[in-house]
Amino acid sequence: MESLSILVIAITGFLYVNLSLTTRYKFKRSEDWSAYLYVAGWGVCFFFVAWCIISLLSSLGWLREIYNLLSMKINVDRIVMTSNNLEEKKNLLKLVAICVLSIILAFLVGIGNRVYYKLYADGKLKSLSKLISNNPFESLVLESHIRSFPVLVTLSSNKVYVGIVPSAPLLEDGRYRIYFFITIIEWV
């Protein structure tokens, strides 16, 4: 059962981290063990929330009602259960419910985060500005896009470009890109 819990923690963390804009940005820029621990941290959060919800449902008796409704349609004892011990059956069903609920919660919160940032572009820019405050190049590109200021870029070949950034940079995938900008002046 512990291996199932660890697997679900990893799946829920990875699912949420890849669906959410701000967490994906942090995850893609973390390296080595910090990336794994970041995913596991989010997975533990969702697993804990699911455990709290299932414990509350169990203490109120609603989990028993859900089990009775399912057992009327499906013979749960023969499909899921391998033991005849009633306490073991209850614990296994609670664990399965916690696993399923934690995956559903991670998916819904991640999709909700994505929908929020698609609907409210200002929120996306504000959260990105908080995230990139420690990277001067990305801060420059985002600031240039928001305020429509021209950017002066000097290359190692002593070429100088002056241009503007017409669209918001795609910072959420975590990779550095050559940002598209419209060249106004070019010096050689």
Q: Which of 70 and 50 is assigned the larger pLDDT?
A: 50
- Joined together, the tokens standing for residue 29 give 């820029």
User: pLDDT tens for residues 68-88?
Assistant: 777 777 665 566 566 667 677
Q: What is the dihedral of CA 156, 158, 163, 169, to 10 degrees?
A: 0
- Contacts of residue 166, defined as CB under 8 A and 6 or more positions apart, other chains included, come to 145, 180, 181, 182
How many alpha carbons fall within 13 Å on the CB side of residue 117?
A: 16
Summarised one tens digit per residue, pLDDT across range 98-114 is 999 999 999 999 999 88
Overall average pLDDT of the 110-120 stretch: 84
Please check the confidence at residue 51 and state whether its pLDDT lies above 90.
yes
pLDDT tops 60 at residue 185:
no
- Kindly list the distances between the CA atom of residue 51 and the CA atoms of 7, 93, 106, 180, in Å, as whole numbers in the listed order: 15, 12, 13, 46
- Contact by Cβ (8 Å): 151, 141: yes
pLDDT for 176 equals: 46
- In the chain, % of residues over pLDDT 70: 72
pLDDT above 70: residue 144: yes
Residue 32 pairs in a beta bridge with none
182, two tokens: 């419209």
Average pLDDT for 115-119: 81
pLDDT tens-digit profile of 9-40? 999 999 999 888 778 877 877 778 888 899 99
Query: pLDDT value at position 154?
Result: 76
Instruction: Judge whether 164 and 17 are in contact, CB under 8 Å.
Output: no
Given a contact cutoff of 8 angstroms between Cβ atoms, the answer to whether 18 and 174 are in contact is no
How far apart are the C-alpha atoms of 114 and 73, rounded to whole Å? 36
**What is the pTM assigned to this prediction?**
0.70
CA 86, 88, 90, 92: dihedral to nearest 10 degrees? -150
Given this model, what pLDDT does residue 158 score? 76
Taking residues 41-65, report their average pLDDT. Answer: 91
> Which pLDDT does position 31 carry in this prediction?
79
CB burial of 20-30 (b: ≥16 within 10 Å; e: otherwise) equals bbbbbbebbbb
**Rounded to 5 degrees, what are φ and ψ at 41?**
-60, -45
Token reading at 5: 């819990």
- Kindly indicate the confidence band of residue 181, based on its pLDDT and cuts at 50, 70 and 90: low
